[in-house]
Amino acid sequence: MSGAARYPEVVVDLTGQLDKPVACVAMVRRSLQRAGLDEAARSFTDLALATANEDFLALAQSWVTVRLDSDPQGR
């Protein structure tokens, strides 16, 4: 799952959250919903809940711009 995010304008700060996969899924889902992307939010949630925890970050990055504490620019 590499390449540009489907919705790069949607930025999600997952700093310190990666050890809480359900919370991360919810954060991305809510961010997509706030952007008016309800169908994308549902699709992402379905995929994320079927994805192994160790693969979640790559999945999230393929959908939205993810910020981590080590990367304040979200890249």
- pLDDT tens for 12-53 read 999 999 899 999 999 999 999 999 999 999 999 999 999 998
For residue 50, is it within any domain? yes
Assign 66 a pLDDT band (cuts: 50, 70, 90): very high
For residue 27, is it within any domain? yes
CB 60 within 8 A of CB 8: no
For residue 2, is it within any domain? no
Residue type, 22: V
Rounded to whole angstroms, the Cα distance separating 12 from 73 reads 11
- Residue 2 is predicted with a pLDDT of 52
For residue 1, is it within any domain? no
For residue 6, is it within any domain? no
- Strands 64-67, 7-13: pairing kind: parallel
Q: In terms of residue numbers, what domain contains 39?
A: 21-66
Question: Which residues lie closer than 8 Å to 74 by C-beta, 6 or more apart?
Answer: 11, 65, 66, 67
Count up the domains in the chain and report the number.
1
